[in-house]
Structure formats: structure tokens, C-alpha cells
Amino acid sequence: MLTSSYRLILKEKRTVRINKYIASCGVTSRRKADDLIQAGKVAVNGAIMREPGYDVQPGDEVLCEGRKISLEVGKTYILLNKPVGYVTTTSDDKNRPTVLDLIQDEDRRIFPVGRLDYNTSGLLILTNDGDVANKLMHPSKELDKTYRAVISGILTRGKIARLEKGVDIGGFRTSPAKVEVLKHNRNSTVVDITIHEGKNHQVRRMFKAIDAPVQTLERIKIGELVIGRLAVGGYRKLGPGEVEYLKSI
């Protein structure tokens, strides 16, 4: 059932494109909403809807994956320190734990924004604001992401220079990375690396390309959002300033 404020929005605008409607309901981002529509997982007024250009009318009943969805005014923004061993999805067909299993006291439906590998820990944003999620994941934003890696061996100046120029990770050449060595010994090096792309396993592939395999990897920063001293597995709601920052991206 639509809230009164959104009834007014639909009345004034008459219609809302279905992928934006799904995103605004807090189900997922607009891009992933298109995938759900094309997969036949969205129904409008009892009929499967496969037209991504459909405009939701006032009074339409929309189901997504069999669940009735409706627009809500309240938005939630959570920063999670994801542990290793959790998948960054809302469900998993292999019955592995998901990041939503870590959020115990949030009754609004939220979803993770972007990816963080199963074997990677660190900063992850969860929200029910599909518009903000879409902004964060859009390639044109080129949002900086900083990772702290422990790699095998010593990271030589030559290897650092390769990362700073960009490396080929198999059909894709990365943009120049920012690299800062924090400490090292004969067996390993602790290094912060900042990138703005989001290819699958990108940081691990970059270090592999320079023969410096990753032992552990943690994302510590996205744009201006930092993980700080948040415990592994812990989470907090974003403050007003952080929320405004996300909306301004």
C-alpha cells in the first residue's frame, strides 16, 4: 500500500518507471531491477511484467519475486565491517551466510551496495535507497576505494611503479593506482592501494599480475566514508553528514 506522500508524488507525476519504483521500494538498485524484470520476477496487477519501460500507475499492485512491494518514506543507510566468509548478497543458493545475517535489529528491507568478495573483509554499505545505490555503483562516478592488503614478499619500487602506471589483469588494463607501503619484513608487506574501478577480484588480480600474491585483503575506505575502528562484523548507521555525502555523489 502506498504511503500518503508517495500517493501525492504519483498523482503529481502520474507515473513512475517500474525500475525506479522497485529501487525506491528498497528492493535493489535500478540496474538490478531491470534484471529482475527481464527474468520475469516482477508482476503488476497479477500479470508478469517484462517491459522495463512500464510506468507504474497510481493504484497498481506490484510484486517482486512473489512479495508485494510498496514505496516507503523512511530510508536506512548502514556501514558494515564485513568479515571474511560472508557473501555480499541478500540470499545464497549454497546456504552460505550472507551479510544480512549480521544485521540483527533493522526491520526495513535493505540490500548491499556493490560487491565485496567472500574472502575479503571491510567496508560495505547497505541501504534501502535504490537511487543512492545506483549512484554508488555507476561506473561514471569513479569513486575511490582504498584497500589494505597483506602480500607475500617485499613490494619493490619496480612493482609499485607498475601498479601506479596500471597493469593488465587479463583483457583489461587498470587505471593508475595510488600505493602506500605501511610496513614490511622479509616475508610480507602491508600496503594500502586505492583504485576507482570495480572489476571482479580486481585488487587480487593486480597484485597477482606483478607476482605479489595477496594473503589478506580489507576495504577500509569508499570515497569519504572510512571504516575507522569499527569491529569486524560490527555495523553502524551513517550520520546525517555521511548520508548527505552519498546523496551528493
Q: Which of 117, 129, 131, 192 is catalytic?
A: 117
CA-nearest of 243, 246, 228, 42 to 137 is 246
Asked whether the beta carbons of 114 and 249 are under 8 A apart, the reply is no
In the residue annotation, 35 being an active-site residue is answered as: no
Q: Which residues, 6 or more positions from 126, have their beta carbon under 8 angstroms from its beta carbon?
A: 76, 77, 78, 80, 99, 100, 103, 110, 111, 112, 113, 235
Residue 46 burial (CB count, 10 A): 7
The helix (run of H) or strand (run of E) holding residue 204 is helix 202-209
Residues annotated as catalytic are 117
